[in-house]
Amino acid sequence: MGEARVVDLARRLGVTHVTVNRTIARLKRDGYVNTKPYRAIFLTERGCEVADKCRERHDTVLAFLRRIGVPERAAELDAEGIEHHVSPDTLRAFQRILSQSRRAGLPIHL
């Protein structure tokens, strides 16, 4: 797994260092990250599990949007929002459709 620094996260997310530090403190308290002063932030095993699930959700939503022909940039932007709200039932339906289309050898865009 990679590592991150507060300054990098603040820049990437467009928030202040204070916001990042407060969020990191909560994540550390809840067992998702480990930190050391003036060092990078690392995910714990629990944090890695959550990150893997989030990445899987994102990848599924993104692949589904691409599969139905949504342009790449729009699919990327839309996946960022949809992945946080999609229900487990809908996510399973996306996965089922993707699996069926892969087995059928369909191109990425229908």
Q: Which of 31, 20, 106, 28 is nearest to 63 (CA)?
A: 106
Tens-place pLDDT, residues 27-73: 999 999 998 888 889 999 999 999 999 999 999 999 999 999 999 99
Is the confidence at residue 105, as pLDDT, over 90? no
As a whole-number percent, the residues of the chain with pLDDT over 70 amount to 95
CA distance 73 to 77: 6
Burial class of 9 by CB neighbour count within 10 A (0 to 12, 13 to 18, 19+): middle
**Strand partners of residue 4:** 41
Confidence check: pLDDT of 3 > 80: no
Instruction: Give the residue-averaged pLDDT of 79-86.
Output: 93
Rg (CA), the chain: 17
User: Mean of the per-residue pLDDT values for the chain?
Assistant: 91
Q: How confident is the model over 1-20, as a mean pLDDT?
A: 88
The model's pTM is 0.77
pLDDT value at residue 106: 73
Torsion of CA 40, 45, 48, 49, to 10 degrees: -160
DSSP assignment of 24-59: HHHHHHTTSEEE-TTS-EEE-HHHHHHHHHHHHHHH
User: Which pLDDT score is estimated for 109?
Assistant: 58
* Domains by residue range for the chain, with CATH: 6-43 (1.10.10.10), 49-103 (1.10.60.10)
| Beta carbons within 10 angstroms of residue 73's beta carbon | 8
pLDDT of residue 77: 95
The pair of structure tokens assigned to 20 is 């990042």
Residue 108 has pLDDT above 70, yes or no: no
